[in-house]
Amino acid sequence: MPEQSADGADQGVVGLEGLEEPKKMTREDWRKKKELEEQRKLGNAPAEVDEEGKDINPHIPQYISSVPWYIDPSKRPTLKHQRPQEEKQRQYSAIGDWYKRGVQEKPVSTKFRKGACENCGAMTHKKKDCLERPRKVGAKFTGTGMAPDEHSQIQLSLDYDGKRDRWNGYDPEDHMRIVEEYAKVDLAKRTLKAQKLQEELASGKLTDQATSSRKQYGEDEHGSQEREHNSEDEDEDKYADDIDMPGQNFDSKRRITVRNLRIREDIAKYLRNLDPNSAYYDPKTRAMRENPYANTGMNPEEVGYAGDNFARYTGDTITMAQSQLFAWEAYDKGSEVHLQADPTKLELLHQSFKVKKEDFKDKQKESILAKYGGQEHLDAPPRELLLAQTEDYVEYSRHGAVLKGLEKAVARSKYEEDCIWGSYWKDGCWGYKCCHSLVKQSYCTGDAGIKTSVSIMSFRLGNIFNQKVALHRHFLSTTCTPFEDGLEVEQQEEEPKSLMEMHQEKMREKKKKKKNKKHKKHDSDSSDEEDEAKKKEKLKKALSAEEQRLKQVAELMQIDERKRPYNSLQEVREPTEEEMEAFRMKRSRPDDPMASFLGQ
C-alpha cells in the first residue's frame, strides 16, 4: 500500500478521523511472516494465541481470521469477531408465538364506563382510534351495545428466522373452513343434479334424448360409456372460462395450455408513438431505450412507459454512480478506496467528504460577506412579494382568456404614478396617461396636468373658432354683404328663447316640411343628377391630390432618412370617402399581372 505524504490532506480526499490504515511492511518482514505461517501449518511452530488464551487454527483462511478495520482497531490476533456477541444476544419469542386476534379476556360490560370509547364502549381505545362503524348515537349516550375490550398484546421480539417465516401466525383451521365450504358447495351441486335427473325421468324428456342420440351415433354396446364420458367433458368445459388466465390459452378439446409471449392487454412499445422520428425500437432485443413521448412534451412520470433508460436511472442508481465517481477521484488523489472491494469505507469517506465540503462552503460564504458585506440582500423577502410575480401555471385560450390557473399579475413600476411613455395618444402624439403630458421624460403633474391640458385644448378650440369668425367677416365684407346683419342674426340665435318662440319655430318647420314633400317628386331627379355631378368633381380633385401625394412620397423616399423632415410622411387627419376611393384606385398591387403595364 503506498504511503501518503505529509501534505496528503491537501492533495487527496480527507480521510476518516481516528481510523489509521496499516503501515506498509518491508520485504524482509513479509518473508518472515510467510515462513512462520508455513511452520505453524506443518506443526513445527506453536499456534497463535488469541486474547483469551485459546489457540487459533493456522489453517483458517485469512478472510475469516483477519479482523475488519471498522470493528477492532487494535489489530491483535483473535477470533472474537466470529463468535456471538454478548451485547447483541437477547431473549427472542418462540417460533410459534404470534399476535392474538379476536381474544376476549374479560366479559362484555353492560354499561358505559368512564374513559371508554364514546362510539363502541371499549376501554382499550378512544373514539378517534375506533375501528367500528360510527354510530348515529354513541354508546356513551345509549348505554347499550357495548363492544368487548381488545386483547392487550405484548410486542413480539422475533429472531432472524422468525421474521422471515412465511407461515408464522398461520392458523390451519382457516384452511379447513375453506375446504368445508367447498365440500358443502359440491354436495349442493350433486343434490341439484340428482333432483333435475329425477324430474327429467318423471316428465319423459330423458327417453326422447336417448332415442335421438341413438339415431345420431348408432346403438352399440359402448354407447352408455360414451354418453357418460361426454357428460363429464361438458362439466369440465363449464369451468374453461375460469381456467383461462392472462398469459395462457386454454383449449378444452385438446386439454393443453399454450403459453403466450406477452399479455394481450399490454401495448407494444413500437405502437406508443407512430412518428418515424420518435424513439428507436430494436425488434431483435425488443428494447426502446429513449422515451417515445419525448417530442410530445408530456411529463415522463405521468405516462405509462417512458423508455428503458428511465427505469434504469431510478431509485439508488444515481447514488451508486455518484459513489463510483467519488471512488475514482479519490483513487486518483492517492486514497486506496474501491466501490466493490470496500463499500463501507467508501460510504463513510463519501459522507465525511460531503459534510466537510458543506462546512467549507459555509465558511467561504461567511468570509466573503464579512469582507464585502451584502447580508441585507440575502435576507430580502421572496420574489413573489417584491415583484408580485409567481411561477404558477396559467393556460390561455387563443383569444387571451384564462382557461386554467390565475391570471398573471401586472408588473408595476417603482414610481407612484406607475405610468410609462406611450400609454397616452392624442392628435398624433404620444404621451403619459397619468398626466396627459406630451413631453418625454417630464415631471408628472397628476390630475392637475389633466385639467390644464383640457383647458389648453378648449383655449385652442376657442382661438380656432375666433379665427374662423374673423375670416368669415372678411369674406362677407369683400363680397359687399351686410356682415352686421348676419352677426346680429347669430347673436339673436345665441340668445335664450322662450317657450312660445320655440313652439312657433316648430310650427314653421312643420309647414316647410309639408311644402317640401309636395315638391320632392319634381325635384328628386334633378337633385340626384346634381349629387352625382358633385361626387364626380370631388373624385377628380381627390385623384389629382393623390397623384401629387404619391409624387411627394416618391421624392421623399429618395432622400436620406437622416435628412428627411420630421413627420414628413405622417398626416393626422381623417380621410374623406373620395380620398379613400382615390387611394384604392391609385394603389399598386404586386400580385396584379398588369402592374408592369400601368406606367406605360
Q: Which residue has the cell 435576507?
A: 379
Would you place residue 119 in the very low, low, confident or very high pLDDT band (cuts 50, 70, 90)?
very high
pLDDT of res. 329: 93
Give 11's pLDDT tier (boundaries 50, 70, 90). very low
Same domain, 72 and 118: no
User: CA-to-CA distance for 34 and 19, rounded, in angstroms?
Assistant: 26
DSSP string of 270-320? GGS---TTS---BTTTTB--S-TTTTTT--TTTSS---HHHHHTSTTHHHH
pLDDT at 139: 92
Greater model confidence, 474 or 298: 298
Which cell numbers in the block locate residue 539? 373624385
* Most confident of the following: 4-13, 22-31, 86-95: 22-31
Which cell numbers hold the place of 226? 360414451
pLDDT digits (tens, 9 = 90+) for 128-159: 999 999 999 999 999 888 998 888 777 788 88
Picking from 103, 102, 96, the residue whose alpha carbon sits closest to that of residue 169 is 96
Query: 124 and 49: one domain?
Result: no
Q: What is the reported pLDDT for 384? A: 66
pLDDT of res. 569 = 63
Checking if the pLDDT of 203 tops 50, the result is yes
3-state class (DSSP) for residue 430: strand
Gap between the Cα atoms of 14 and 510, Å rounded: 111
Give the model's pLDDT for residue 128.
93
Question: For helices 446-478 and 483-494, what crossing angle results, to 10°?
Answer: 140
**Domain count of the chain?**
4
Does residue 377 have a pLDDT over 70?
A: yes
Q: Check pLDDT > 80 for residue 56.
A: yes
Distances (CA, A) of 21 to 1, 64, 68, 71, 351: 9, 19, 12, 13, 18
* 582 contacts 539 by C-beta, under 8 angstroms: yes
| CA separation for the pair 91, 153 (Å, rounded) | 17
Please indicate, yes or no, if residue 544 is contained in any of the structural domains.
yes
Give tens-digit pLDDT for 158-171: 888 888 888 888 88
Is residue 522 domain-shared with residue 584, that is, in the same domain? yes
pLDDT exceeds 50 at position 15:
no
Q: Is the residue at 97 inside a domain?
A: no
pLDDT score recorded for residue 273: 84
Whether residue 299 lies inside any domain: the answer is no
Q: Give a yes or no: residue 563 inside a domain.
A: yes
Q: Is residue 300 a part of any domain in this protein?
A: no
Look at 5 and 373; give whichever has higher pLDDT. Answer: 373
Average pLDDT of the segment spanning 79-84: 83
Give CA–CA dist 122/150, Å, rounded.
Answer: 8
- Return the DSSP state at 395: E
> Is residue 16 located within the same domain as residue 78?
yes
SS3 328: helix
pLDDT at 347: 93
Give SS3 for 49.
strand
Q: What is the pLDDT of residues 506-564, one digit of tens each?
A: 888 888 877 777 666 556 666 677 778 888 888 888 888 888 888 888 887 888 877 77
- What b-and-e string marks burial along 88-123, b requiring 16 or more CB atoms within 10 Å of the CB? eeeeeeeeeebeeeeeeeeeebeebeeebbebbbbb
Q: What cell does 160 get?
A: 432472524
The whole model's pTM is what? 0.24
pLDDT at 271: 85
Q: What is the pLDDT of residues 426-445, one digit of tens each?
A: 877 888 888 888 887 777 77
Q: Are residues 144 and 192 in the same domain?
A: no
- The answer to whether 432 and 421 are in contact (CB under 8 A) is yes
Integer Rg of the chain from CA: 53
Return the percentage of the chain with pLDDT > 70, whole number: 70
Chain-centroid distance of CA 559 in Å reads 58
Mean pLDDT check: name the lowest of 219-228, 330-339, 524-533, 568-577.
219-228
DSSP letter string over 133-152? Answer: PPPSS-HHHH--SPPPPPP-
- 190 & 130 share domain: no
**Grid cell listed for 527:** 337633385
Q: Which of the four pLDDT bands, split at 50, 70 and 90, describes residue 491?
A: very low
Q: Which of 53, 86, 119 is the last residue of a domain?
A: 86
Are 502 and 584 within one domain? yes
Q: Is 564 within the bounds of a domain?
A: yes
Whether 317 is covered by a domain: the verdict is no
The set of residues, in sequence order, having a beta carbon less than 8 Å from that of 98 and lying 6+ positions away, is 156, 168, 169
Shared domain for 579 and 525, answered yes or no, is: yes
For the chain, the average pLDDT equals 76
Domain that holds residue 139: 107-148
- The length of the chain, given as a count of residues: 600
Cα separation, 600 vs 596, whole angstroms? 8
Say if residues 56 and 79 touch (Cβ distance below 8 Å): yes
Burial of 357-386, coded b for 16+ CB within 10 Å and e otherwise, reads: eeeeeeeeeeeeeeeeeeeeeeeeeeeeee
Clarify whether residues 58 and 125 are in a common domain.
no
The answer on 60 and 119 residing in a single domain is no
Predicted local distance difference test score (pLDDT) of residue 130 = 93
